[in-house]
Amino acid sequence: MTLDDCRALDAQDPLAALRDQYILPKGVIYLDGNSLGVLPKAAPARIAEVVAKEWGEGLIRSWNSAGWFDLPQRLGDKVGRLIGAAPGEVVCTDSTSINLYKVLFAALSQQAATGRKLVVSERSNFPTDLYIAESMCRERGFTLKLIDASELPAVLTDEVAVLMLTHVNYRTGAMHDMKAITAAAHAAGVLTVWDLAHSAGAVPVALNDSDADYAIGCGYKYLNGGPGAPAFAWVHARHADKFVQPLSGWWGHAAPFEMTPHYRPAAGVSRYLCGTQPIVALAGLECGLDTVLAAEPLGGMAALRKKSLALTDLYIQLVEQRCGGHGLSLVTPRAHAERGSQVCLSRAEGAYAIVQALIARGVIGDYRAGDDQAPDILRFGFTPLYLGFEDVWNSVEHLLQVLETADWKRAEFNAKNAVT
């Protein structure tokens, strides 16, 4: 595989034109769209319009006249197209952490009468998911049981109420088989809560086809919604009208402007809204969503997935071909069915500093700390919407140079920042 081969792949790439939808800084190869997506070209003007026209001129009238009121549902329908959900099944609102609180509470309420007392999740799940589950279990008399993925499905006994998993692991990029695991969970009487933070816009997701129960996900990663963009929540239609989420604010009321003293939940997933929505942030999210949906005429998530796998395959191949002997190991599974849209490497020494040295060269990935059971990780996300095969070649070239020159040993690359 040569640089010319990579250029040839770019020349044949049917998705190449999608890159033009974004503002990407010159000289940057951005391998961190799994953590914060890039800026859609349409976003600055759209956000300025919302501020100057809809807020500045429309004022409070814009809740009706500019369609602010049903933005969470309208954007939810757009997200639904990416995750195998039907119209009316998703809302965009709040953060991933808060939405997890809501759906996990609903799932536990649903299991309350069964006497099942365990919530099962992976030890390597994203910390906020575990923290939210830990506090909810404490408050509601459940126990959080942390497992390794290899213990599934055997761990799903009649003591388990809810299985809470992140579909694509944030540290390793390993992807679960949602349909098979959900079937095993249901066979054991267990409800499933799926976190799609590293899946929505990254890999095809089929929530209804998988018969999942609850799902949440992030707006600022592969959906390019901007820093802290609203997240989303999905509830299977069989549960959506039945369970009241605990943050029963007026925005999830059946008729908020009747201003009645008692809560009456809205029909369906709209009850998962809580308070007044962040309209400017939702406008930014819509710009991001539209850039992902722009792939629909070109084959949609299936086409994005095909390119994503080609990019991550190429990255793995080039790292092994060109950086062999430098102590890097592959953490992400090689099997396509088990891989999300990122490649994670580990190294006994210098993982943090190598990432910093790469960032100084304009190759932006990130570092995730390990512990006694998991290695430090160099994490590289591949977003087929704006990355090409030549970018992959160049990012490996920089990695090789950082390793060969031992550039990463410089003090400036070894001082830890607050956000890694």
Binding-site annotation, residues for pyridoxal 5'-phosphate: 96-97, 126-129, 166, 195, 198, 220, 250, 276
Q: Which two tokens stand for residue 193?
A: 């809560």
32, 77, 94, 195: the catalytic one is 195
Decide whether 32 or 376 has the Cβ nearer to ligand PLP.
Answer: 32
Shortest distance in whole angstroms from residue 223 CB to ligand PLP? 11
Question: Does 195 participate in catalysis according to the annotation?
Answer: yes
Output 232 or 386, the one with its CB closest to ligand PLP: 232
Look-up: residue for tokens 């694509």? 168
Binding residues, as ranges, are 96-97, 126-129, 166, 195, 198, 220, 250, 276
Active site residue 22: no
CB of 186 to ligand PLP, least distance (A): 22
Strand partners, 168: 175
- Cβ at position 28, least distance to ligand PLP in Å: 21
Burial of 90 (0-12, 13-18, 19+ CB in 10 A): buried
Neighbours of 230 (CB within 10 A): 28
Min separation Cβ 100 and ligand PLP, Å: 7
Q: How far is CA 274 from the centre of its chain?
A: 22
Please, which residues bridge with residue 366 across strands? 379
Among the listed residues 22, 30, 101, 126, the single catalytic one is 126
Single out the residue of 173, 272, 156 nearest to residue 222, CA to CA: 173
Considering beta carbons, is residue 9 or 181 the nearer one to ligand PLP?
Answer: 181
Query: Which phi and psi (to 5°) does residue 195 adopt?
Result: -95, 120
User: One of 105, 142, 170, 220 is an active-site residue; which one?
Assistant: 220
Long-range pairs for 405-412 at CB < 8 Å and ≥24 separation?
407/357, 408/350, 408/353, 408/354, 408/356, 408/357, 409/350, 409/353, 410/353, 410/357, 412/356, 412/360
Active site residue 221: yes
Shortest gap between Cβ of 401 and ligand PLP (angstroms)? Answer: 30
The two structure tokens encoding residue 178: 């949602």
Q: Which residues of 102-113 are buried (b: 16+ CB within 10 A; e: fewer)?
A: bbbbbbbebbee
User: C-beta of 161: minimal distance to ligand PLP in Å?
Assistant: 20
Binding site for ligand PLP (CB under 6 A): 95-97, 126, 128-129, 166, 170, 195, 197-198, 218, 231
> Which residues are CB-neighbours of 119 under 8 A, at least 6 positions away?
104, 108, 133, 136, 137, 142, 143, 144, 145, 160, 161, 162, 163, 164
Marked catalytic residue, from 102, 221, 271, 347: 221
CB of 219 to ligand PLP, least distance (A): 8
- Closer to ligand PLP by Cβ: residue 170 or 386: 170
Return the active site residues: 126, 195, 220-221, 379
